[in-house]
Amino acid sequence: MYNSIVLVKQVPDTANISGKVMKDDGTVNRAKLPAIFNHEDKIALEFALQVKDKFGGKVTAVTMGPPRAADVLRECLYMGADEAYCVTDRKFAGADTLATSYVLSEAIKKIGNYDFVFAGRQAIDGDTAQVGPQTAEKLNIPQITYAEEILDIKDGKIKIRRKIDGGFEIVECRLPVLITVLKGAAEPRPFSAKRVMAFKNAKSLMEIEKLVEGNSLLYADDLLQEYKSRKLFIETLTTDDLDVDLERCGIKGSPTKVHKVESVVLAGGNHIKIEPTRDGISGLIDSLMEDRIF
C-alpha cells in the first residue's frame, strides 16, 4: 500500500489566447481566459492512480489557488482521487514559486502520511518547472523530475525512467519522494460516469459558504456537516488551518517582483510581398542569390 499526494493546478488556457484577452492598456484580462486543468498535473494524477490500482493505498489531490480552483479538484475526484484539498486564502495570492512551494509543503505536512508526492513537470501559465523541486526541498525529501515511466516499486524504493538532456536514465530512490511527470508519460483516464454523478456536488468550504449567503434558510455549520457526512466536502485549508509564517506567503513571501510589463507591439511590417506564383518565387530566389544567402 502506498499513499500519494498529487499537486494539481488550475491554469489559464494560454494556448488559446484570443485578441480580446489583452486590454487596451496592455494588461491581461484574466476573466477572458478559460481556466483549465494543467495537463501534466493530470498525468501526475494518472501515475498516482496507477500506483493505487496496483498496490492499493490512497490518492489525495491538492491544489492552491482561488476558490474557483475547486473545479480541478472535482475533476480529480471524477478520475478517481479519494480525497481533495483546496488550499486557498487571500493571503496566499500573488505568490511566486518560492511562496507557493512553501504553502504547499506546509499543506502536505498537514495531510501527512505519504509515500509519494506527484506533480506535473510544469504548468503552462509560467512554464517554470520550479514548484516541484522547491516543494521537495522544503519537505526535505529527494526529487525525481522529468519522470517518463515507473518501472518498479518494491522494498520501499521506486525505480523510474527519467528524461535527461540527450537521453534518459534509470534511477532508484528511497521513499518518500517527490516526482514530477513529463507530458506523454501516461494517458490520463477519462472521468468515470459513476464518479461524476457521485461528486458533481462536492463543494469546498467557500462554495458552501456561498450557498448560505444566497439563502437565509441555510446555516453554514449544518450544511457543512451534511456535506461532510455525504462525503462531498472538499477539505479546505486556509491560513487558520496551516502553521504558516505569513511573511513567507503570497506577495510578501515572493522574492520575484514584476518590475515592468510590456505589451508586445509589433513594428510595422516592412517586408517585401512576394506573389505565390512561379515568377514571384523565382524573383525571390534571385534576390537571395544576390545576397549570397543561397
Partner 1 sequence: MKHNSEVWVFIEQRSGKPADVSFELLSKGRKLADNMGGKLKSIVIGDKVKDIAVETFNFGADECYLIEHPDLHYYRTILYSRILDELIKKEIPRIVLFGATVTGRDLAPRVASNTKSGLTADCTDLKISDVNYLNKPFKDLLLQIRPAFGGNIIATIITPDVPVQMATVREGVMEMHKVDKPKEVKIKEIPFKPEETDNLLVVLEQHREESKVNLKAAPIIVSGGYGLGSKANFNLLYELAHAVGGEVAGSRAAVDAGFITSERQVGQTGVTVRPKLYIAVGISGAIQHRAGMQEANKIIAINTDPDAPIFEISHYGIVGDAAEVIPKFIEAYKHKLK
Restricting to residues 263-282, name those near partner 1 by CB under 8 A. Answer: 263-264, 266-269, 271-278, 280-282
Q: Binding partner 1 by CB under 8 A: which of 34, 90, 127, 219?
A: 127
Contacting residues for 51 by C-beta, under 8 A, at least 6 apart = 2, 4, 57, 116, 150, 153
Binding piece for partner 1, criterion CB under 8 A, among 55-63, 108-116, 124-132, 235-243: 124-132
Q: Does 134 bind partner 1 (CB under 8 A)?
A: yes
Pattern 62-101, partner 1, x by CB under 8 A = ----------------------------------xxx--x
Give least dist CB 42 to partner 1, A.
15
Nearer to partner 1, 66 or 283 (CB): 283
Length of the chain: 294
Residues 15-34 that bind partner 1 (CB under 8 A): 15, 17, 21-22, 26-28
Q: How far apart are CA 21 and CA 27, in angstroms?
A: 9
Nearer to partner 1, 222 or 275 (CB): 275
CA neighbor of 208 nearest in space, from 241, 229, 233? 233
Closer residue to partner 1, CB minimum distance, 117 or 131: 131
CA 204 to chain centroid, in Å, comes to 18
Q: Half-sphere exposure of residue 174, counting CA atoms within 13 Å on the CB side?
A: 2
Q: How buried is 72 (Cβ within 10 angstroms: 0-12 exposed, 13-18 middle, 19+ buried)?
A: buried
Binding residues for partner 1, how many (CB under 8 A)? Answer: 79
Q: Among 112, 190, 214, 255, which residue sits at the site for partner 1 (rule: CB under 8 A)?
A: 255
Instruction: Work out whether the CA dihedral 131, 5, 141, 169 comes out positive or negative.
Output: negative
Footprint of partner 1 on residues 145-204 (CB under 8 A)? 145-146, 159, 163-174, 177
Q: With CB under 8 A as the contact rule, which of the stretches 44-52, 198-206, 235-243, 251-259 interacts with partner 1?
A: 251-259
Only one of the segments 64-72, 119-127, 199-207, 218-226 lies at the binding site for partner 1 (rule: CB under 8 A); that segment is: 119-127
Q: Contact 158/171 with Cβ under 8 angstroms? A: no
Output the smallest distance, CB 100 to partner 1, in A.
11
| Residue closer to partner 1, measured from CB, 197 or 288 | 288
Asked whether the beta carbons of 13 and 84 are under 8 A apart, the reply is no
Q: What 8-state DSSP symbol labels residue 5? A: E
Classify strands 116-120 and 167-174 as parallel, antiparallel or unpaired: unpaired
Grid coordinates standing for 145? Answer: 523530475
Interface with partner 1 in residues 202-231 (CB under 8 A): none
